[in-house]
Amino acid sequence: MDSHTVPSPAPEDRPARLTVGVVGAGRVGTTLGAALALAGHRVTAATAVSDTSRRRAEERLPDAVLSTPQETVEAADLVLLTIPDDALPELVDGLVATGVPVAGKMLVHTSGRYGARVLDTATRAGALPMALHPVMTFTGRPDDLDRLAGISFGVTSPEPLRPVAEVLVVEMGGEPVWIPEDRRTLYHAALAGGANHLVTLVVEAMDLLRSAGVADPAAMLGPLLGAALDNALRLGMNGLTGPVARGDAGTVADHIGELARVSPEGTRAYVAMARLTADRALAAGLLKPEDAERLLEVLADS
């Protein structure tokens, strides 16, 4: 938490309880709505399109009336806009175009991609805009609410609203981290690259192990990947091990040759990551220049 972050307020110091509306009763919307309800706010309305989202809203937000986006906004002091990134600008513009009253209402979206400016149309109509992005993956299972405890939220808002945004995050159990408006895309790219590509890398590794005859790849990979992740988070590049870190160009060449036979798509990913790893290891002083040169020659030939 940075120097601007406010501590968790005592009950007597908390702001007045708010009525909350959730536009988009998906995994994120219902989780955050439930967290706000636990903090003492009242979730009064929600929008849900699919049967799954309606059931999820009924389970997690039992006091919410299922209604249209316009009715949900009208019924709330604080509106969670928890819909896909690409749909957010059109939704905001559409709400304002219908004349729904937004003046004085807190409009909070949870997109990692956008800051507060995506809400500019509503802001000009008097809304109070905030971007509160939970840095967590949600599965729709009952433990989603527990996953909020101690996670970071990427917070962007106009400066006067920053204390309010940070209090809301703390009330939901998170840690507010300020992200400047012009850094949101970079921030989101870092998170998506780390989390989403990690899943792809792990699944690819499991598939290759199955091809190598391993019956339970997850059991084999779990301890190794857990240790590697811990090393990376604690030590950075100093946690690197393996053939690239050792400058073992022959081993890397053998890997590439075998991968080309089994998984051409995986080969390209391996080569790209090996190049980036070699560059970073060289810059960190972990790899001798002559070893890096041999590695990069092998990778270039690939």
C-alpha to C-alpha distance for 199 and 218, rounded to whole angstroms: 12
Q: Per residue in 41-78, pLDDT tens?
A: 999 999 999 999 999 999 999 999 999 999 999 999 99
Please give the backbone phi and psi of residue 139, each rounded to the nearest 5 degrees, phi first. -110, -10
Residue 138: phi, psi to the nearest 5? -115, 140
Q: Tokens for 279, please give them.
A: 């560059």
For residue 51, the SS3 value is helix
CATH number of 11-179: 3.40.50.720
pLDDT at 301 (0 to 100): 84
Q: What is the pLDDT of residues 154-203, one digit of tens each?
A: 999 999 999 999 999 999 999 999 999 999 999 999 999 999 999 999 99
Please compute Rg for the chain using Cα positions: 24
Residue 270: closest CA among 284, 286, 287, 253: 253
Q: What is the 3-state secondary structure (H, E, C) of 183-205?
A: HHHHHHHHHHHHHHHHHHHHHHH
Question: Considering the entire predicted model, what is its pTM?
Answer: 0.88
Distance of CA 262 to the CA centre of its chain: 32
Tokens matching residue 73: 């906004």
> How much is the pLDDT for 16?
58
The stretches in the chain having pLDDT less than 70 are 1-16
Secondary structure E strands in 6-83:
19-23, 42-47, 65-66, 78-81
Note the Cα 140 to chain centre separation in Å. 15
What's the residue count for the chain? 302
Where helices occur in 75-130 by DSSP H, the ranges are 88-97, 120-124
**Complete DSSP assignment for 137-197:** ---SSGGGTGGGTT-EEEEE--GGGHHHHHHHHHHTT-EEEE--GGGHHHHHHHHHHHHHH
